[in-house]
């Protein structure tokens, strides 16, 4: 019988970290790749799931049926990803 490797469930937290950076001498080289996103792109509206259709909604507007949210940027950013799009993808 199959069973999931339960300690390895891939679950992504969307919480932004606010811990201060450590000293440069011990900052991993790979973090030099970092491109900081504009602060105004971080905010996330309150999103719920429509009880009947089960689709994402903001206020009473189904996201994929709204021209505002169907814009290129929103489609790209998908889920809650911010501009840039594939935030949950590997590099």
Partner 1 sequence: MTWTPEPRVLVLTRARDETADYVLRELNRRGVPFMRTDVADFPLRTALSAELRPEGSWRGALTGASRALALEGLRAVWWRKPTPFGFPSSMSGPERAFAESQARRAVGGILGSSPEVLWVNRPEAIADCTKPRQLSAAAAAGLTVPETLITNRPGDVAEFAERCGGRVVTKSLGSIRYSGEGKNGRLYTSQVPPHRWNDPRISLTAHLFQREITDKAYEIRVAAVDGRLFPVVIRAPEGPGRLDWRRDIDNLNYTSTTLPTAVEEGIHTLLHSLGLVFATLDIIVDTQNVHYLVDVNANGQWGWIDQTHEPIIHALADLLEKGTR
CA distance 33 to 80: 22
Chain-centre distance for alpha carbon 5: 24
Residues near partner 1 (CB under 8 A) are 1-21, 25-37, 41-42, 44, 47-49, 51-56, 58, 62-64, 69, 72-76, 78-91
Question: Minimal distance in Å, beta carbon 66 to partner 1?
Answer: 10
Place of tokens 């996103």: 37
Q: Which residues pair with 47 in a beta bridge?
A: 58
- Rounded to a whole number of angstroms, the minimum distance from the CB of residue 48 to partner 1 is 6
Smallest separation, CB 59 to partner 1 (Å) = 13
């Amino acid at each position: 019988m199959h069973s999931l490797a339960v300690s390895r469930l891939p679950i992504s937290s969307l919480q932004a970290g606010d811990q201060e950076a450590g000293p440069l001498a011990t900052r991993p080289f790979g973090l030099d790749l970092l491109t900081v996103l504009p602060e105004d792109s971080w905010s996330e509206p309150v999103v719920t799931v429509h009880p009947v259709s089960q689709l994402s909604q903001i206020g009473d507007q189904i996201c994929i049926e709204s021209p505002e949210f169907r814009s290129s940027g929103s489609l790209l950013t998908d889920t809650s990803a911010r501009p840039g799009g594939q935030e949950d993808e590997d590099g």
